[in-house]
Amino acid sequence: MTILINSVIILSLLLGTFFIVMTAVGLVRFPDAYTRAHAASKSATLGVLFILIGVFIYFWQIEGTYNSRIILGIVFIFITGPIGGHIMARAAYFSGVKPTERTVRDDLKEEYERKKRSL
Of 92, 104, 107, nearest to 36 by C-alpha is 92
As a whole number of angstroms, the distance between CA 52 and CA 72 comes to 10
- Pick from 1, 4, 8, 24 the residue near another protein by CB under 8 A: 24
Please report, as ranges, the residues that interact with another protein according to CB under 8 A. Answer: 6, 9-10, 13-14, 16-17, 20-21, 23-24, 27-28, 33, 36-37, 40-41, 44-45, 47-48, 51-52, 55, 58-59, 63, 65, 67, 69-70, 72-73, 76-77, 80-81, 83-85, 87-92, 94-95, 97
